[in-house]
Structure 1
Amino acid sequence: MTYDLIGDVHGQFSKLSSVLEHLGYEKRKKVYSRKDHCAIFIGDLVDRGSNSREVIELVKRMVEEGHAEAIMGNHEYNLFGYLTEGAKGKFLRPHSQKNERQVRETLASYSGHENALDTHLEWISNLPLYLNNKDFRAVHACWDKKSINYIKKSVGRKMDKEILIGSYKCGTKLEQAVKMIVSGPEMSLPDKIVQRDIDGNLRHNFRYKWWNAIKKSTYQEVAVKDSYQLPAGKVVLPTDFVNREYDEGKKPVFFGHYSMKGKPSLMKSNVCCLDWIDKRNRIGVYRLKPGEKLTHKNFKFFF
C-alpha cells in the first residue's frame, strides 16, 4: 500500500479534487480512488475556503469506501464545539466574534443543506485523533506521547460525541490531551508582545517546534513562524515545560497545522509537516511507500 498524506485543505474543494486527480485518483460514482493507494487526510478540512461542505462530503465518501483515512484537526474540533450544546443549553465553544468569524465560511457552505450539516457533524465527532501503524504516525498538531497514551487507555482510538463534549470541560486530563493533540503546545510571547495569526486574531502565545530539542535555543530558533518580532536572547522555558523532542530513530511522523512558510522541506529525517502556505494557498502532499526513508523529492506542493 502506498500512502498519500494530504495537508490542511481548509474548504478548497476544487483544489483538493485537482490534487487527487494529479495523484492518479479516479472518480467513480462520486468517490475518488486509486488501486493500492490510501489517502491520509491530516485534519483541518474546514474553514477559510468557501466549500467546506463539499470537502467533507468528498473525504467522508472516500473514508467510508475504504480509500482514505482522516484524523481530526483543531478546526473540526472547534466547529463541533461551536455547534454543540453542553450543560445548561450553552454552546461548548462561545459564540464570540472571533469564533463566529472562524466558522463563517463553513456555515455558509451549508446554507440550504442543514441535513448535511447534522450528518457531517456526526461524522466529524467520530474522527480519530491520531493514526499509528507499522509504517508511520499521523496527528494534526503534536505527537505528544503522554496525551496519546491517555487517549489510548481512557477512551480508545475511536472518538464519539459524548467524549468530545467531555473534552470541553476545562482543567480535565481529557481536555488537556485532546487540545495538545489537535492544537499543539504553545509558549507565552515575551515582553508583552502581541501578534496576529493567519486569521487576523490577536495572540499572546506562539507555537513552537516541539519536535526539536528546545534547551538553550533562541526564540527565533524555537518559534514555528519567522513573522514574530521576538527578542534575540535565549528562550525562557516555563516551569512546567515538557520536552517532546521526536527522536530520529522513531518511525516517521506527519502533521499539519503550522502554516509553514518557504519551500516545503522535512523538519527532520523522520518528521514532516504538511501545512505550508503561500499566496496561492496550495496543498501539501507527501507520497510514502512503506519501508522508504523520507526524502524531499516525495514532498509535493500542489495548485
Structure 2
Amino acid sequence: MNAFDVIPDIHADPGRLESSLDAAEPGAHLALLGDFIDALPGQAAVSDRTVLVRVRDLIETGRAVAVMGNHELNAVLFHRLGIDGAALRRHSARNMAQHRSFVADFGIMTLEALGWTDWFLSLPLWLERDGLRLVHACWSAPAVETIAARRPDGRLRPEDLPEIATRSSRFGRAVQMLVTGPELTLPEGHGFTDSHGAMRRRVRLAWWRHGAARWREAALSVPRPEELPDAPIPRRPNFAFYDQEAPPVLCGHYKMQGAPRIEAHNVACLDYPASPCLYRWRGESRLSPAHLATLDG
C-alpha cells in the first residue's frame, strides 16, 4: 500500500509549492490536485513557469501523480480555436484577468502556451489508488462513468474540447462537474460577491455535507455567507451527495476559510489559501484530522 501526501491548489506560487514539498514526509508519494497555474489576486510570489517545470519534473521522475484542475482545463480552451475561428474560451476581460500570470509567462496561443496546454491534457481528470480517490473539485460517480465510457484513463483528447467548452453534451457536462463541482442558481434577486470582487448568482455546493438543507449551510466559496438567502435549497433531481460508504476522496478548488478541517469521514477539501495544508494519507478508510498538516507546522 502506498502512502500519499496530497497537495492542493498551488496557483503559480513557487514558495507554496516548495513549502508543501518540504512538509511531505520522506518516502511518501506525492499527489497533486491541480490548479498549478493562474496566480490569485494579491499573491506575492508568482511564477507559472517555475511551478510548472517543477511539477512536470516530479511527475516524470515518478515522485508524484496529479489530476487536472479547472484552471488547466480553462487554459486549454483559452489557447485553442473552434471550427468557427473563435477561441473555445472567450478572451473576455474576466478570463484574461484569470489567466494573467500564465499569459505573462507564455503569451497567448504561442508555441510555449500550446506546448504547456498540450501537457495539461496528459493529466487525468481523476485518480484512484489503493483505496484513495483524488479529484480537483467533485467526485461524481455518474460523471466518472460517463467520461470513462469514452476515455477509460480519464485523459481528454483535443476532439473532446468543443463539447466541453459549450457543455453541449452529457460528456462535456460530466467533465465540468469533476473540475468545477455542482453549482446552483440563487433565487431571483439574490447574489453574492466572490473572492475576486465579482457579483455571482450561481453557488458552489458542498457535495459531502449530507445534512445541509439551506443555502448558507451548503454553499462553498462564498466569502460572506450572510449575503445568501436564509432559506431552504430546492431539491435537485440531478444532484446526489457523495455516498457515505464510498472510499475516501481528497479534493481542492473551493478556497475554504478558517482552519483546515475534515468535514466528512470520507471527503476532505484541502484548499485553504490563507492556511495552506496537505493531507498525509496512510491507507485509512476514515479521514483523520491528525493527518492534516499545515505548512506553518
Q: TM-score over 0.5 for the alignment? A: yes
Whether the 8 Å contact between 1:83 and 1:91 is mirrored in structure 2 is: yes
Residue 235 of structure 1: aligned partner: 233
| Aligned mates of 2:278, 2:245 — CA distance in 1 | 23
How far off its partner does 1:226 sit? 5.9
What SS does the corresponding residue of 1:131 show, helix, strand or coil? strand
Q: Which amino acid aligns with 1:8?
A: D
Any residues of structure 2 matched to 1:27-176 within 5 Å, and which? 34=26, 36-48=27-39, 50-110=46-106, 115-157=111-153, 158-176=155-173
What SS does the corresponding residue of 2:65 show, helix, strand or coil? strand
What SS does the corresponding residue of 1:87 show, helix, strand or coil? coil
Q: Which amino acid aligns with 1:233?
A: A
| Aligned mates of 2:223, 2:89 — CA distance in 1 | 30
Q: Which amino acid aligns with 1:244?
A: A
How far off its partner does 1:162 sit? 2.6
Residue 29 of structure 1: aligned partner: none
Whether the 8 Å contact between 2:191 and 2:228 is mirrored in structure 1 is: no
What SS does the corresponding residue of 1:235 show, helix, strand or coil? coil
| Aligned mates of 1:2, 1:134 — CA distance in 2 | 9
Gaps of 5+ in 2: 41-45
The CA RMSD over aligned residues, in Å, is 2.2
Residues 82-122 of structure 1: CA deviation (Å, up to 9, x unaligned):
111111221100011100110011211236xx554333211
How far off its partner does 1:301 sit? 2.3
Describe the shift of the 1:192–1:8 C-alpha distance in structure 2 as closer, same or farther (beyond 3 A): same
What SS does the corresponding residue of 1:69 show, helix, strand or coil? strand
| Aligned mates of 2:112, 2:102 — CA distance in 1 | 12
Q: Which amino acid aligns with 1:296?
A: P
1:218 aligns with 2:214: yes
What SS does the corresponding residue of 1:141 show, helix, strand or coil? coil
Residue 200 of structure 1: aligned partner: 197
TM-score (norm 1): 0.88
Q: Flag as ranges the 4+ runs of structure 1 deviating above 4 A.
A: none
Residue 178 of structure 1: aligned partner: 175
Gaps of 5+ in 1: 25-33
Q: Which amino acid aligns with 1:4?
A: D
Whether the 8 Å contact between 1:62 and 1:68 is mirrored in structure 2 is: yes
| Aligned mates of 2:223, 2:195 — CA distance in 1 | 13
Quote the sequence identity (%).
Answer: 29
TM-score (norm 2): 0.89
Whether the 8 Å contact between 1:213 and 1:243 is mirrored in structure 2 is: no
Describe the shift of the 1:219–1:256 C-alpha distance in structure 2 as closer, same or farther (beyond 3 A): same
Whether the 8 Å contact between 2:12 and 2:39 is mirrored in structure 1 is: yes
